[in-house]
Amino acid sequence: MVKHHPTTDFITDFAAGTLPVAQAACISAHLNYCDSCRRSAEQLQTIGGVLMEQLAPVTVSESVLESVLARLDEPAPLSFAQKPARQEAFDLPGLLTRIINGDFTQLTWKRITRALSVSSLQTGDSAYEFALYKIAAGGRIPEHDHGGSEMTLVLKGGFSDDRGTYHPGDFIFRQANETHMPVTIDGDECICLAVLDAPLKFTSWQYRWLNPFLQLRAG
C-alpha cells in the first residue's frame, strides 16, 4: 500500500504536461503503483478537456482532413503506455523498462560507497539526473544534503529516514538543504529511482571528500 504521494501541484503539472521529462517520468512511475494518484491525474486532465472545448476554433483546411483520411489505413505504431503495476510482484514500471531497454540485470552500476551504487539513465533532459540508486541490504546512504531538489521513488525493498519508512511505490520529494540519512529496511537491498537537479552533498566528515566525485550526470 503506497503511503507517500506527490503533492497535487506535481500531479496537476503532470496532467497539464508542463513537467520536465525526467520529473514527469518519475511521477508517471509513481502512478503505476498508486490508484488514488492515478484517479487524481485523470480528474485533473478533465480540466484540460473542458478548457480545450472552450478555445476559439482555428480553421483547418479541407486538405488536412483529406490527407488524414488518406492515411487511415496506415498501421498504428506500437504503444508503450503503461499498465498499472500488479501489487504482488516486483514489477518494473513500463517506462523504466523502456529507458533501460531491458531489466535490472543489464544495468551498469557505479559504486559510490560500500553500500551505495548508482546507475544513470538517459532521459535526454539536460537539467535533471535520472538515476537508480541501489543500497545494499543492511546498508545506508551517508547523511547528505541536496544542492537542489530530489524526487525519489522506491522500486524495490525499502528505506527509512528521520521522517518515515518507505516501500515500493512511495514517493519522496526533498528540497535544497534538507538533509537525511536513508537506511535500508527488512534486510533486503533497496533500489530507488532518483531525479535530481543538483548533485548530492555528503555532510558528514567521513564522506565529504567524495563530494567532488558526485557530479550531476544529467542528460
Residues in contact with another protein by the rule CB under 8 A? 5, 8-9, 12-13, 16-19, 21, 24-25, 28, 31-32, 35-36, 38-61, 64-65, 67-69, 71-72, 74, 76, 79-84, 94-95, 98-99, 101, 122-125
In the sheet with 171-174, reading across from the earlier edge strand, the strands are 110-111, 116-121, 129-135, 190-196, 150-156, 171-174
Q: Is 140 helix (H, G, I), strand (E, B) or coil?
A: strand
26: which residues sit within 8 A by CB, 6+ positions away?
130, 151, 153, 171, 193, 195
Cell representation of residue 12: 496537476
Angle at 4 between CA 137 and CA 198, to 5 degrees: 70
Classified as helix, coil or strand, 38 is helix
123, exposed or middle or buried, with CB in 10 Å at 0-12, 13-18, 19+? buried
Tell me how far CA of residue 108 lies from CA of 10, 162, 197, in angstroms. 30, 30, 22
Q: How far apart are CA 78 and CA 21, in angstroms?
A: 20
> Looking at beta carbons only, is 20 or 147 nearer to another protein?
20
